[in-house]
Structure 1
Amino acid sequence: MTFALGILPVVLLLLGFPVFLVLLSAVSVALVFYMHMPLAALHQNLFGSINAYALLAIPYFIYAGELMGRGSVARRLVDFVQDGVGSARGSLGVTTVGVATIFGAISGVSAAAVATIGKIMYPSMVNAGYPKHFAAGLITAVGAIDIIIPPSIPMIVYGAAAQESVPRLYAAGIVPGLLIALLIGGYVVFRAARDNFGAPVPFDLSQFLRSTGRSLWALGAPAIILGGIYGGVFSPTEAAAVACVYAIFVTLVVFRELSVGDIAEAAAITVRFTSQILIIVACAGVFAWVLTVNQVPATLVGWIKYLDASPWQFLLVVNVLLLVVGCFLDPLSAILLLTPLLVPVAKALGIDTVHFGIVFMVNLAIGLFHPPFGINIFVAQSVLGIRLETIYRGIIPFVVLYLVALALITYVPAISLSGMRLVFN
């Protein structure tokens, strides 16, 4: 069994096989050669793994983000934030952080934020005297906030895998996401002042009011999503569906920027992206079932208890593990592979699974732009048309900032749990 569930998956991953095929192969070998069970169990658990109401939110949020990213929503958000912070040195960099945070509250897809915001902000920052490596590193890093700020698609997957409440996870992600945004924004202002780039633009109240009026429809999306969830009007899945209707209305009727054909094309892209996600979810669900049946999580819990590891030691090991895994696997695959193993141990040590979920998200957010294989790096390279070496050089200080935030979030649970308690108590 060690070969099927341990050695075989690692070998296949190193050979470059797709994650879903790695999991499916491991489960098939385990069922046929070690557990001697009919393959009908494989089919049943494949479909059972995606038979979860919470997972319906995934295609809806992807579709809403795809629609809002096609029109002028991002440009309107940029104008709104930029006109609000124009009097500060480094205002374009701070604007990039602010827009990424707001866009994360609409889409929840990190790569989409990097692509959409990068097209607008990178030329503006370079023209304003920002070093190319700094601008590229900033854009690559801030997109990772999107999987921490709700509505985060990886949080939905973690909630389903850990059997945790998605609204509670969403509420817990707000303060950590804002903390990271503040750290990055503060560093941008510091660098701009130290290196004398990003000259401030005088604040113009009339211009700010105009840009606010133009951005109200764009800002309505996160207000409806989060306000509806925490106001008890609808569930996260229903909020995602409402976000789709709102996005269609805004882009097709209000802004009149998209045609019916564009709406259909966005739907086709959403179907493809959703299928890529759910096939991994299905295969990982079967893999988790095989692990559970063979008492792997229980054995791991017993081993941790035998070692008498404290919660802080366990969290330190988890952080190191996730930082390494995040460099090679996408967040969804990492969540689905490791949640069945790590969550039982966290529960046994008395660690709140909501707090643990946020620690998971921050680690995997770092993996999105950590060299050498962070997906945001390659998205930025494609969109910005610059060398990888330039991006690698630029992201180093932002990796350090995220690590500082990770340490705070890991060992000060109140940072995560305060938002949840404020909303639900």
Structure 2
Amino acid sequence: MTDPFALCLIIIVVLSLMGASVGIAMVAGSIVYLGMAGFDPSIASETLLQGLFNSYTLLAIPLFILAADIMNMGSLADRLLAFSQALVGRFRGGLGHVNVVSSVIFSGMSGSAIADAVGMGRIIINMMTKDGRYPASYAAAITAATATVGPVIPPSIPMVLYALVSDQSISYLFAAGLLPGLLMALVMAVMNFTIARRRNFPVDEVVPIRKLPGITWRALPALMLPVILLGGIYGGITTPTEAAAVAAFYALFVSVVVYRSVRFGDFYYALLGSAKSTASVGVLVAGAITFNYVITRENLPDTISAFIAHYHFSQVGFLIAINVLLLLLGMFLEGGAILLIIVPILIPTVQAMGIDLVHFGVIVVVNTMIGLITPPYGLLLFVTANITKEPISAIIRDVVPFIIALIVALGIITFSPDFVLFLPRLLGYQG
């Protein structure tokens, strides 16, 4: 007789390979499991609805997506790029540095790597490839790589998903992501500078210092968004979900009233795009909630904990194994699927090993971001390839140095919990 759990996994894999949404595949597999194991299949719908309706945290996701879409449709990206170019465009490989800095700034607004790559990325790639200053494949590669910073620096949609499965504070997770995100940006800037010197990339036109105040003033309304967002959260004025609503409203206000760069039709398409993205995430969350019930019934977390105890893994050995596992999974699975399927299985073992769950959350999110630029799946590689029309093989060749740099940053983040938890502890975290 076929094992119900084995059949459940087979159904999920087969449906996913056939092109079905991972969320739908998980729901289908879970229903088959419940039926074969002798449970009432209606448990699946009950579990799903309870999980969705009891999670106020999930409301932050569509609001952050909407804020990012509103920013992408207006002139915010252009003004932020002008500000970034005035700051760092004067150095060797300057537009590569602009790419890094603009991703850091935009990451404080959108919480989404894809939003960063599509919004800021399209503009900066055109700037880099104009007149053949940079190879299109390199422009695509560094844009994909720098977009990974977006969901690590707060706000962060993956952090919201991790908070859902780990029952950790979103505020502390957001705070824990700031320094690691800046570290990721730093190692990519160093790598860009190294490559620029070796390949003799140009020094871009220097913006006179006297023009910097005017450029900063024009970009100030956009630059204030992360200040308002994070100030509301850490000042105790808003919850992260309420802050997401404020961010969406502020982005709309700045785009329509201050910059006057958005029409009603643009706003309609932003709402439509946000609804589609939210539905995609919602289906994934729904599938994960249902599948997690199956995982609980199968006692998988306890099985893994017993395996770890039997082979006497040290904390360092366990973290190395987890990083290798997550990096390999990131080559084939979407980050949200890893967060919602794999991570809940690991959390009890992580707790038993004495690893802080906020620190672990940052490790997981950084791993999933590296997965976005790791072939063969590498979603960000396909996004930038679509923008540049460059062969994916050429982009992969140019992105490899940045993957290496990010893995170095991941190592520092993994084995320096005090570095990751410095800001959360300043804010009262007891971990």
TM-score normalised by structure 1 residue count: 0.96
Q: What residue number does 1:47 align with?
A: 49
CA–CA distance in structure 2, aligned partners of residues 7 and 119 of structure 1: 39
- Map Cα deviations across residues 288-319 of structure 1 (whole Å, 9 max, x no partner): 11211332212221221122111111111111
Written as runs of structure 1 = structure 2, the 5 A alignment for 1:10-409 is 10-34=13-37, 36-51=38-53, 52-126=55-129, 127=131, 129-409=133-413
Aligned residues: 424
Q: What code does the residue aligned with 2:68 have?
A: G
CA–CA distance in structure 2, aligned partners of residues 128 and 9 of structure 1: 46
CA–CA distance in structure 2, aligned partners of residues 224 and 54 of structure 1: 19
Contact 2:100–2:189, Cα closer than 8 Å, also in 1: yes
CA–CA distance in structure 2, aligned partners of residues 89 and 132 of structure 1: 18
Q: Offset of 1:200 from its aligned partner?
A: 4.5
- Map Cα deviations across residues 59-108 of structure 1 (whole Å, 9 max, x no partner): 10000110011111111001111111233222211111000111111111
CA–CA distance in structure 2, aligned partners of residues 100 and 73 of structure 1: 13
Query: For 2:424, what is the secondary structure of its paired residue?
Result: helix
CA–CA distance in structure 2, aligned partners of residues 202 and 336 of structure 1: 46
Q: Offset of 1:209 from its aligned partner?
A: 1.0
Query: For 1:106, what is the secondary structure of its paired residue?
Result: helix
Label 1:255 to 1:323 Cα distance change in 2 as closer, same or farther (>3 A). Answer: same
- Map Cα deviations across residues 145-181 of structure 1 (whole Å, 9 max, x no partner): 1111111101101101111111111000000000010
Contact 1:88–1:201, Cα closer than 8 Å, also in 2: no
Which deviates more from structure 2 when the two are superposed, residues 171-180 or residues 116-125? 116-125
Q: Offset of 1:333 from its aligned partner?
A: 1.2
TM-score normalised by structure 2 residue count: 0.95
- Map Cα deviations across residues 10-62 of structure 1 (whole Å, 9 max, x no partner): 3443444321122112211111011x121221111111121200000001000
Contact 1:128–1:197, Cα closer than 8 Å, also in 2: no
CA–CA distance in structure 2, aligned partners of residues 330 and 210 of structure 1: 42
Q: Offset of 1:129 from its aligned partner?
A: 2.3
Q: What code does the residue aligned with 2:100 have?
A: V
Q: What code does the residue aligned with 1:29 have?
A: V
Q: Offset of 1:191 from its aligned partner?
A: 2.1
CA–CA distance in structure 2, aligned partners of residues 389 and 6 of structure 1: 32
CA–CA distance in structure 1, aligned partners of residues 125 and 26 of structure 2: 39
- Map Cα deviations across residues 368-413 of structure 1 (whole Å, 9 max, x no partner): 1111111111111111222212211111101111111111111111
Contact 1:359–1:410, Cα closer than 8 Å, also in 2: yes
CA–CA distance in structure 2, aligned partners of residues 263 and 11 of structure 1: 38
Q: What code does the residue aligned with 1:355 have?
A: H
Which deviates more from structure 2 when the two are superposed, residues 67-76 or residues 290-299? 290-299
Query: For 1:201, what is the secondary structure of its paired residue?
Result: coil
Q: What code does the residue aligned with 1:122 have?
A: I
Runs of at least 4 residues of structure 1 off by over 4 A? none
Unmatched tracts of structure 1, length 5 or more? none
CA–CA distance in structure 1, aligned partners of residues 41 and 32 of structure 2: 10
Unmatched tracts of structure 2, length 5 or more? none
Q: What code does the residue aligned with 2:313 have?
A: A
Which deviates more from structure 2 when the two are superposed, residues 128-137 or residues 179-188? 128-137
Give the percent of matched residue pairs that are identical in Structure 1 and Structure 2.
Answer: 37
Q: What code does the residue aligned with 1:13 have?
A: S
CA–CA distance in structure 2, aligned partners of residues 131 and 43 of structure 1: 51
CA–CA distance in structure 1, aligned partners of residues 170 and 202 of structure 2: 39
Contact 2:66–2:271, Cα closer than 8 Å, also in 1: yes
Q: Offset of 1:423 from its aligned partner?
A: 2.9
Contact 2:89–2:203, Cα closer than 8 Å, also in 1: no
Q: Offset of 1:198 from its aligned partner?
A: 2.2
Q: What code does the residue aligned with 1:162 have?
A: S
CA–CA distance in structure 2, aligned partners of residues 283 and 321 of structure 1: 22
CA–CA distance in structure 1, aligned partners of residues 381 and 284 of structure 2: 22
Query: For 1:146, what is the secondary structure of its paired residue?
Result: coil
CA–CA distance in structure 1, aligned partners of residues 15 and 87 of structure 2: 50
Q: CA RMSD in A?
A: 1.5
